[in-house]
Amino acid sequence: MIRKQRFGRTGHESTVTLFGAAALGRVTQAEADQTLDVLLEYGVNHIDTAASYGDAELRIGPWMDKHRKDFFLATKTGERTYAKAKEEIHRSLERMRVDQVDLIQLHNLGHPDDWDVAMGPGGALEAAVEAKEQGLVRFIGVTGHGLHIAAMHYRSLQKFDFDSVLLPYNYPLMQNGRYADDFERLIALCEERDVAVQTIKSITRGPWATTERTRSVWYQPLEDQKDIDVAVHWVLGREGLFLNTVGDIHLLPKVLDAASRYERRPSDAEIKAVVDELHMTPMFLG
């Protein structure tokens, strides 16, 4: 089983690995149901999906009839205006067959222009706040990608008291001094405010080196269990963080297996050996 920790001020005891339901975007219901069995086997009790993840919300819907109480359920809206975000939030509830989600997140809020719209008058944040007031959602978060996102999340937290943030975190990325500085500043603020910190891209090897895609993720992932172990254990070794699992149902068991066997954080020498052997590079270069 995978250990649990408090998901920030929500008070929910979530498994330190959260199921990243982007993995369900292009699978059949039968494949999704098999994935549910894997989640239950490892005791995963937190699902993170999004309106834009293909059919993921539709695949989760049938699970909720029986398992709603077993999961902290989070989704995201990528819309920027109040009207469109409100519509998308209601559609997500319908697609997942629930009356309420635990967490709604403003999805990939990294571009300054998008930020101005979503966080301003008539923006998506107003729709999220209204949904919370109406009891449709319990908490509100913000997510994003790229080298600038830690700084943008810091800015977002100055504007609104979000309950969670989500952003990339892995060893190669943290060798970028600017990103590392922004990340540490954000973490300090999140710790001060008891904001949950979710991380993504834990097993990223780098951009795909060829046009052939053997996995359903948009980056080339680590494949061997021993390498996944090192990458996953390095993330989980940072106290207080959550690791969102890989967006591929066939790699998911390897990530969960690694998380279930966590004992200690690898040394810098141990993870650097994997990075050097596989020529791992950051996904985000600018």
Burial 11-29 (b: 16+ CB within 10 A, else e): ebebbbbbbbbbbbbebee
CA distance 103 to 12: 11
pLDDT of residue 235: 98
CA distance 75 to 96: 10
pTM of this structure: 0.95
User: Structural domain boundaries of the chain?
Assistant: 4-278
Q: Please say whether the structural domain 4-278 has been given the CATH code 3.40.50.920.
A: no
Per-residue pLDDT of the chain (286 residues; tens, 9 = 90+): 899 999 999 999 999 999 999 999 999 999 999 999 999 999 999 999 999 999 999 999 999 999 999 999 999 999 999 999 999 999 999 999 999 999 999 999 999 999 999 999 999 999 999 999 999 999 999 999 999 999 999 999 999 999 999 999 999 999 999 999 999 999 999 999 999 999 999 988 866 555 555 555 656 789 899 999 999 999 999 999 999 999 899 999 999 999 999 999 999 999 999 988 988 877 654 4
* Token pair for 199: 């991380």
CA distance 124 to 77: 8
- The set of residues, in sequence order, having a beta carbon less than 8 Å from that of 119 and lying 6+ positions away, is 109, 125, 156, 159, 160
